[in-house]
Structure 1
C-alpha cells in the first residue's frame, strides 16, 4: 500500500504544479499599446463634447506601425501604435456624405505633398484642414457640447484660433497650394527638335501640369532611358515652372526617355480600423502613378573626306580637276548627315573641284559609317593619254564617325615626243668608209678636155702679148 501510495502522491503534486504554471500564463497581463502622437501641436483648451470639458486637442499626425497617418473621424478614439487597419473605400465626410470634387482633389494633393511632413506647423495645418473638410458642422447643432463623440462636429473657428502663428500661416499656405496645384495632373516628356547625334548630349524636357494647365513645381520624377545615357541622377525635380531639363546623350539610333511620378488621385481613399469607434485614417496613399515618354532618332557623328588630286610622278597637286562624290558603286550618290543624297542641280551625284597648290577638296557632314568613292570626271590638261572614260581614275574608302578619311587620286602626265616636228630640214652629213674605182674612158675624156683648155689659154695669152 505504502509503495502504491507514494507514486500517486507524487503524480498529484506534478499535476498541481503544471496547473499552477498554466494559470500564471493565462492570467498574465499583456502589455497594452499606447497612442503615439506624431508631428503637430497640442492646443488648449480642448473642444468639449459628450458633456465634458477637455484639457487639450492634438492637432497633427499619429504613428501607427511606424507609419505616419492623419485621422479623418473627428472625436473618435485615437489609434494606438499597434492599431490594425484594412483598406477602405472612398473618403466620405463624418456624416457619410460624398466630398465635392474640388475638396477631394485638394485632400489628395495635400496628402501627396505633405503626408510625410516632419514640420509641426505643416502637420497641424494638414490635420486642421482634413477635419475642416470632413467634419464641418452642417448646422450649429452639430457643435452642441452635449453631443456624443460620434455626432460632434469640428469647430473650425475655435480650432483655428488655438493654433500657433506658424500653423495658422501654414493653413493658408497649404490651402492655396492645393487650390493652385491639385489634380488631375498631366506629365510630359519632350525630345529635342534638332537632329540628335550618338555620343553628343541633347536637351530633353520633363514637365508636370495641374488641372489648370499650369506647371507644378517640386515634383520628383523618376527617369528610365533606352539607347541613351543621362548626365546626372535618374531622378529629377521640377522647377518653379513645372519643368526639368535633362542632358541626354544617345547611345543608339532610337533614344527614349520615360518618366514616372506620383500624382494625386481624383479622390482619396481611407484605411478602416478593425476596432469599432476608432478613427479612420489617411496617409500619403491616395496617389496614382503617371507616366510619359518620348523618343527620337539619332545618327552617328558625321565624317569628313579629304581628297588630293596629284601628279603620279612628282606628287604635286593638280587644281581645277572635277571629281564626282558617289557611293561605293560609283554610280549612286553618297549620303549626307541628314540621310539625304548629295546631288547637284541635275540630280546626279555632286561634282566638286580640286583647289590650290595641293589640289585638295574637303567634303564635310557625311553620314557615317559609309563607303564612298571619288571618281574623276575629266582629266586635267596634259593628262589625257592615261585617262580612260570607261574606267576613270578613282579612290574609295569608308568614312567613320567623327573621323576624316584621306584619299588621293594620282594622274599620269602625257609623254613628251622625242621626234623633230615636220617642216624643219637639218643638214645631213653622211660619212662612209667604203672605197670605189673610176672607169678608164672617163679618165681619157677628161684628159682631152684638159689639153683643149690649155691650148685656148695659150692662144689668148699670145694674142694679148703681141698687141702689147
Structure 2
C-alpha cells in the first residue's frame, strides 16, 4: 500500500484564502486522469474529465458534478461535512469509504487511480435524488450517470474502480493506534524492541502504514530521536529498535487515519463551482508507551589471600552487604540479597579461594565482611571489627576485591621430634643442679690453686 503525502504538508483548511473575484465560467487546471469518450447529456463541456485538478499548485478532488472546476483564483474555505448534491448526509459506510480513499489515493500518480477515485466520488455524491436528476439542464441539479461513464472510460479505470472500492471497504476507519513497550526489563545503553500497531475496526492490521514517532530518554542506533516506522505487508505491527539513554524511556507515535466523515471545502465567492475534498478528511491518531530502564547488572568477585604466602584461602565465610556493612546489598531487580534467614547473604570461598556475586544493581557500593576466621588465622581475627573489602560495582562490570588474612604466630615447640608422626623416641633437654661431696672438695682445691696462681702473676708483674 503506497502512502505518499502531498509535497506540501498543509491541508487546504490551513491555506491562505484568495479574495480575487471569480466567475462561474472559470476553468480549472486538470491534474492526472482520463477523459471519457463522450460527455453525459445536458452536462457542461469538460464534464467528461475524470481525474484530479490543480488548485494553487496542489492536487485536489471535486464533488458537485457538472459545475465548473475550481480555479486557482478562487478562494476556498473549510465547510461542513461532505453531503450529497441533494444536500443529504452521506451514509456512514459511504462517508468512511470516501475518507479512506482520500487518505489512501489523493496523492496518487496513477491516471487510472485518479480517474477511478473521481468516478467513485461522483457516483456516491451526485446520484439521482429528488431535484437531482439526469434530465435537467441546470448543472447545479444534474445527477452523475455512473453507468453512462462506465461504458465510456478505459477498462483499466473500471478495473481500478473495483480494486480501490474493495480496498476502502476492507480498510476504512475507524482505526486504532497503539504503542507497546517491551515486557522484559530495559537496560540502559542496550537495544530493546518496541512495537507500533495500527488496526482497523475488524481488528486486522493496516498494511504498509507509516507511523511517525519521537523518543524520550532513548535513541535509535544512528543516534536519532525520531523517525518513521512502517507496518508489515500483512498488517503486523511495526518494530522500533531503540536504545535507552535514561531511566524513563518512552515513545510517542502519530499516524494518519481516515476520518469517519470527510470534510468539504466551499468556494468563497460563488456557489456555482465544484467543491473540493482533499486529505483534510484524515484524522490524527496518537499513542504512547513508556517504561523504566536500569543500568546493566554488575558482579563482584573476591579472593581470600594469606598475607605471607600470598596463597588463596578456601572455605572462608563472607557476608555480602551494602556500604554500611550491615544492611543487605541490592539485586538487579531491586530486591534484597539475603539468605533463607532473611539476613544478608553469606557465601564461602571455593577451592581457589574466590567467590563471585552476580546480578547486582548498579551503581552500588558492595562490602564483603568476614564472618568467622578460617582455621589457622584465628589469632588476628577481631569479631568486633572483622576484615572486610568494599568497592563500587559499575554497570556491566565485575568488581575484583582481595581480602587478606594474617596467619597465627608460629609456636616454638618444647620438644624436638626425633622422627616423624611421633613414632620414634624424642630427646628431651635436661639441666643438673645437684653436686656430690667429693666433687665439691675437688672443686674447692681447684679454686684455691687458681687463686695462688693469680697472686704469683701479680707479684711477678710488680
- TM-score (ref. length: structure 1): 0.81
* Mapping 1:7-406, distance limit 5 Å: 34-49=27-42, 57-138=48-129, 142-144=133-135, 146-231=136-221, 234-239=227-232, 240-274=234-268, 275-357=270-352, 359-406=353-400
SS of residue in 1 equivalent to 2:133: helix
CA distance in 2, matches of 1:161, 1:363: 81
CA distance in 1, matches of 2:248, 2:46: 66
1:136 deviation in Å? Answer: 1.4
SS of residue in 2 equivalent to 1:96: coil
Count of residues in correspondence between the two structures: 404
Decide whether aligned partners of structure 1 residues 56 and 74 sit closer, same or farther in structure 2, where only a CA change above 3 A counts. closer
CA distance in 2, matches of 1:421, 1:160: 124
1:126 deviation in Å? Answer: 0.8
Q: Deviations over 1:286-309 (max 9, x none)?
A: 112110000011100111211001
CA distance in 2, matches of 1:222, 1:391: 61
Paired residues of 1:33 and 1:81 also in contact (CA < 8 A) = no
CA distance in 2, matches of 1:278, 1:242: 43
Decide whether aligned partners of structure 1 residues 164 and 190 sit closer, same or farther in structure 2, where only a CA change above 3 A counts. same
Q: Deviations over 1:224-279 (max 9, x none)?
A: 10101123661112112241001011101110001011211121111101223100
CA distance in 2, matches of 1:431, 1:65: 137
1:124 deviation in Å? Answer: 0.8
CA distance in 2, matches of 1:163, 1:427: 135
SS of residue in 2 equivalent to 1:47: coil
SS of residue in 1 equivalent to 2:73: coil
SS of residue in 2 equivalent to 1:176: helix
* Mapping 1:398-437, distance limit 5 Å: 398-420=392-414, 425-428=428-431, 437=444
Paired residues of 1:264 and 1:286 also in contact (CA < 8 A) = yes
Q: Deviations over 1:306-358 (max 9, x none)?
A: 1001101111001111111110011111111111111111111111111123x
Q: Bigger shift: 400-409 or 163-172?
A: 163-172
CA distance in 2, matches of 1:318, 1:312: 10
Decide whether aligned partners of structure 1 residues 84 and 187 sit closer, same or farther in structure 2, where only a CA change above 3 A counts. same
Give ranges in structure 2 of 5+ residues lacking alignment: 1-24, 417-425, 446-462
Paired residues of 2:31 and 2:59 also in contact (CA < 8 A) = yes
Q: Which structure shows the bigger proportion of residues in helix conformation?
A: 1
Output the aligned Cα RMSD: 2.6
1:33 deviation in Å? Answer: 7.2
CA distance in 1, matches of 2:298, 2:229: 35
Decide whether aligned partners of structure 1 residues 141 and 312 sit closer, same or farther in structure 2, where only a CA change above 3 A counts. closer
CA distance in 1, matches of 2:100, 2:363: 52
CA distance in 2, matches of 1:113, 1:206: 20
SS of residue in 1 equivalent to 2:150: helix
SS of residue in 1 equivalent to 2:95: helix
CA distance in 2, matches of 1:352, 1:164: 84
SS of residue in 2 equivalent to 1:121: helix
Q: Bigger shift: 420-429 or 211-220?
A: 420-429
1:98 deviation in Å? Answer: 0.3
1:369 deviation in Å? Answer: 0.3
Give ranges in structure 1 of 5+ residues lacking alignment: 1-31, 439-468
Q: Which has the greater radius of gyration? A: 1
CA distance in 2, matches of 1:180, 1:230: 34
CA distance in 2, matches of 1:431, 1:208: 113
CA distance in 2, matches of 1:350, 1:253: 28
CA distance in 1, matches of 2:95, 2:331: 57
